[in-house]
Amino acid sequence: MNTMKYKGYTARIDFDVEDKILVGKVLDIEDTIVFHAESVHEFETAFHTSIDDYIAACEKLGQKSEKPASGRLMLRVNPRIHAAALRKAAHEGQSLNKWAERVIEQAARP
42-62 pLDDT, tens digit each: 999 999 999 999 999 999 999
**Exposure of 41 in the CB half-sphere (CA atoms within 13 A):** 0
| Burial class of residue 88 (count of CB atoms within 10 Å of its CB; 0-12, 13-18, 19+) | middle
CA pair distance 32, 108, nearest whole angstrom: 21
CB atoms within 10 A of CB 92: 10
The domain ranges of the chain are 2-60, 79-108
H or E element in which residue 23 lies? strand 21-27
- With a cut of 70, which residues of the chain have pLDDT below it? none
The pLDDT, as a whole number, for residue 69 is: 86
**pTM of this structure:** 0.72
The pLDDT, as a whole number, for residue 30 is: 93
Are the CB atoms for 32 and 21 separated by under 8 Å?
no
Strand partners, 13: 2, 24
User: Long-range CB contacts (< 8 A, 24+ apart) of 57-62?
Assistant: none
Are the CB atoms for 10 and 3 separated by under 8 Å?
yes
